[in-house]
Chain A
Amino acid sequence: MAEIAFARPESLHDVPFHYCPGCHHGIIHRLVAEVIDELKVRDRTIGVVPVGCSVLAYNYFNFDTQEAAHGRAPATATGVKRVHPDSVVFTYQGDGDLASIGCAEIVHAAARGEKITTVFVNNAIYGMTGGQMAPTTLPEQVTVTSPYGRDPEKVGMPIRVCEMLATLDGAKFIARVAVNNPANMAKAKAAIKKAFEIQMSGLGFAIVEVLSTCPTNWGMTPLEAVAWLEKNMMPYYPLGIFKTPEGVAK
């Protein structure tokens, strides 16, 4: 019997993504969908999607979703989870959404140990609105609102979300991953799966930051974008697990 090597996860609708060529949002959606399928929780999953390029994620995910206001997904997800404690609730958020306008909501969801999972897509830029500076934009990085390059003297250094949230007791699992090559994709999926399992075992808050590309607003080809991510983002945003219930070997 022939084996199916690649099939659409049930947790994804059979529609094409609207993302630009080389954008990692589509890959990350797929990983989330595969994890939900594998955990067999599609029937009780409620996704909360952000304002950003993934604003239409509710058209892609084949389970219940809520579209939250910009940055407020962790609060919205809190409301959902408190009504249906037996459900599996996650937020999917960009870096502008999570680390800028929604900074308070993510910090407090983590501090409360809210039993939700956050998938945080860091592409160092505001993709949807046309490439403005994000709190995660790297020093010297040129964007349309940092046309001379991000000047840390004036606007500070980029926020490392995982490291910041790792100080909070309520956050039980924190990892930073990338999907720049197949090996990292496998690690990313494993981290996302773990983050859902942490929620399902009732331990507390879990977040996976995924370093991601925005070829369009970075002004690069998809391949250049991956190379730029590896050369510039990875050194400042080191991959790894920052916190697990089992403890992290230092």
Chain B
Amino acid sequence: MAEKILMKGNEAIGEAAVVAGCRHYFGYPITPQSELIEYMAKRLPQVDGVFLQAESEIAAINMVYGAAGAGARVMTSSSSPGISLKQEGISYIAGAELPCVIVNMVRGGPGLGSIQPGQCDYFQATKGGGHGDYHNIVLVPNSVQELVDYTILAFELADKYRNPVMLLGDGALGQMMEPIAFPQGAAAAPAKPWATTGLRGRKEPNVINSLHIQAPDLEKHNIHLQAKYKTIRENETRWETYKTDDAELVLVAYGISARVALSAMEQARAAGMKVGLFRPITAWPFPYEALAPLAGKAKAFLAVELSAGQMVEDVRLAVNGASPVYHYGRLGGMICSPKEVLGEVTKIMQGKEGK
């Protein structure tokens, strides 16, 4: 690890991508991630990389498809409305099993929404977004250092599983400045004998494709994808727990909300309430198996997220009725304060939560 430097979240993602060996970036400007595309515009030419501002997010994701299919470590980034436009391409990328990294610095929605931070794209990121039976691997960092670490991990996982990986952040993380350190590099990209590089001596042409025109063939392809997703679930599910051992109430939160929830938890502990925090680091695969055993011990769960209640559905699936699951969220780009969360915690601990 090198010495620590102070960097803005969005720019840290860009530098992390460069450290990971990403030399191709295609994007379209949108707040609150514009520092990232601007960073790539400046940085990639310095390392003989390719930066291209596309005419739209649709074009950008299809450039990613082409570049990933040609064997490159490639990234695109956007925020909510732009990520909606990318969904067609993401589905094709998942179908064709191409490795790439897609960054979504989420803002309030729906529609044009706001430019302030949100976590309201959780469903879109984890439950499909595009058409067909597919999954993105979804990493949800909660600090600028984690933006760095998980950007690098994202490239590694994308190559390992030939799967799109989404880094799901939010406008707050993107704008935040924190001291960070960059590792020396990422695991080198594996050989990609399937890539369309031109034959160059190879006998059989390579084809990048998501079309399987015969239903039995497509079913077989889907069964293969599902087997891959199972392997990812078994090997790549990530989470963190704080003081959940004796917790009567477990907060569940990711990303920026996990930081708010952690402060609320500490304040609650100081006031003598046994509160813990469960933080998913992969939103897909969601750590159901890690959360489920807590259901037998804790009396209640409180999902804290900047949405009207999206991740809470996964919490309910994990808890499976064993304890009540509450939700607290702010909407439309508003961030909740530790005080507000502490208020909810206190209500639940005092048995005043009626829902």
Chain A bound to chain B: yes
Is B78 part of the binding interface, using a Cβ–Cβ cutoff of 8 Å? no
Neighbouring B residues of A107 by C-beta, 8 Å: 55
Interface residues of B in 54-89 (CB under 8 A from A): 54-56, 58-60, 62-72, 74, 88-89
Known A80-B70, A82-B24: A69·B89 in contact at CB below 8 Å = yes
Instruction: Give the residues in chain A near B210, CB-CB below 8 Å.
Output: 67
A55 partner residues in chain B, CB cutoff 8 A: 211
* Closest Cβ neighbor of B100 among chain A residues: A79
B209 contacts which of A58, A72, A83 (Cβ < 8 Å)?
Answer: A58
On whether the beta carbons of B67 and A80 are closer than 8 Å, the reply is: yes
Contact check, B26 vs A104: say whether CB atoms are below 8 A apart.
no
Distance in angstroms between the alpha carbons of A42 and B54 in the assembled complex: 29
Interface size class, chain A: 35 or more
Q: Are A64 and B59 in contact (CB under 8 A)?
A: no
Q: A44-B199, A62-B205, A84-B70 known; A68 and B65 CB under 8 Å?
A: yes
Separation in Å of the B68 CB from the closest CB of chain A?
A: 8
- Is the CB of A43 closer than 8 A to any CB of chain B? yes
Q: Is the CB of B197 within 8 A of A64?
A: yes
Q: Establish whether residues A105 and B208, one from each chain, have CB atoms under 8 Å apart when the complex forms.
A: no
Given contacts A78-B52, A82-B24, contact A43 B201 (CB under 8 A): yes
B270 is an interface residue with CB less than 8 A from chain A: no
Interface status of B196 (Cβ within 8 A of chain A):
yes
A43-B201, A79-B26, A83-B67 as given contacts; A66 in contact with B209, CB under 8 Å: yes
A104 to B70, CA, bound (A): 23
A75 is an interface residue with CB less than 8 A from chain B: yes
Q: Please tell me if the beta carbons of B211 and A80 are within 8 angstroms of each other in the complex.
A: no
**Number of A-B contacts defined by CB within 8 Å:** 132
A97 CB, min distance to chain B CBs, angstroms: 13
**Interface contact B208-A83, CB-CB below 8 Å:** no
Q: Are A76 and B56 in contact (CB under 8 A)?
A: no
> In B157-216, which residues have CB < 8 Å from any A CB?
196-201, 205-211, 213
The one of A63, A65, A67, A72 in contact with B58, judged by C-beta atoms closer than 8 angstroms, is A72
B336 touches A (CB below 8 Å): no
> How big is the B interface, by class?
35 or more
Asked if A44 and B198 make an inter-chain contact with CB atoms under 8 angstroms apart, the answer reads yes
For A81, what are the chain B residues with a Cβ–Cβ distance below 8 Å? Answer: 66
Task: Give the nearest-CB partner of A85 in chain B.
Answer: B50
**Contact (Cβ within 8 A) A83 B65:** no
Task: Say how far A235's CB is from chain B's closest CB, in angstroms.
Answer: 33
State whether the Cβ of B326 lies closer than 8 Å to any Cβ in chain A: no
- Quick check: B205 and A65 within 8 Å, CB to CB? yes
Asked, given contacts A77-B66, A78-B63, A79-B65, whether A66 binds B207 with beta carbons under 8 Å apart, the answer is: yes
Q: Assess whether B278 is interfacial by the CB under 8 Å rule.
A: no
In the complex formed, the residue of A with least CB distance to B56 is: A104
Please, which residue of chain A has its CB at the minimum distance from the CB of B50? A82
- Are A64 and B58 in contact, CB atoms less than 8 angstroms apart? no
Distance to closest chain B CB from A241 (angstroms): 27
Mask for A43-73, Cβ within 8 A of B = 1, else 0? 1111010000001101001111111110010
Does A108 belong to the interface (CB within 8 Å)?
yes
Task: Tell me if B229 counts as interface (CB < 8 A to partner A).
Answer: no
Contact B209–A67 (Cβ < 8 Å): yes
B92 at the interface (CB under 8 A from A): yes
CB–CB A76/B62 < 8 A: yes
Q: In the complex, which of the residues B24, B56, B198 contacts A45, with contact meaning CB atoms closer than 8 Å? A: B198
Distance between B108 CB and nearest chain A CB, rounded to angstroms:
27
Q: Is A213 an interface residue (CB 8 A)?
A: no
Q: How far is the CB of A166 from chain B (nearest CB, A)?
A: 19
How far, in whole Å, are A157 and B64 apart by their CA atoms in the complex? 34
Closest chain B CB from A18 CB (angstroms)? 10
Q: Please, which residue of chain B has its CB at the minimum distance from the CB of A64?
A: B196
B63 nearest CB neighbor, chain A only: A79
Query: Digit string of B38-62 for contact with A (CB within 8 Å is 1, else 0)?
Result: 0000000000001010111011101
CA distance A142 to B316 in the complex (A): 55
Q: Is B62's CB under 8 angstroms from A84's CB?
A: no
Residue A87 CB within 8 A of the other chain: yes
Q: CB-nearest residue of chain B relative to A58?
A: B207
| B196→A72 contact, CB < 8 A | no
Q: Would B198 and A79 count as touching, CB distance under 8 A? A: no
B170 CB to nearest A CB, Å: 28
B70–A79 touching, CB < 8 Å? yes
User: How far is B93's CA from A72's CA once the two chains are assembled, in angstroms?
Assistant: 13
Q: Give every chain A residue within 8 A of B206 (Cβ-Cβ).
A: 64-65
Question: CB-CB < 8 A to B207: which residues of A?
Answer: 58, 64-67
Residue of B nearest to A112 (CB): B52
Binding site for A on B (CB under 8 A): 24, 26, 50, 52, 54-56, 58-60, 62-72, 74, 88-89, 92, 96, 196-201, 205-211, 213
The chain A residues found within 8 Å of chain B, CB to CB, are 42-46, 48, 55-56, 58, 61-69, 72, 75-84, 87-88, 104-105, 107-108
With A67-B208, A72-B62 already in contact, 7 other A-B pairs whose C-beta atoms are closer than 8 Å: A75-B62, A75-B63, A80-B70, A82-B52, A82-B67, A83-B74, A84-B197
Q: Would you list 14 pairs from A and B whose C-beta atoms are within 8 A, ordered by A residue?
A: A44-B200, A61-B205, A64-B196, A64-B207, A66-B69, A75-B66, A79-B63, A79-B65, A79-B68, A83-B74, A87-B197, A104-B59, A105-B58, A108-B54
Nearest 4 interchain pairs by C-beta: A79-B66, A79-B67, A75-B62, A44-B198
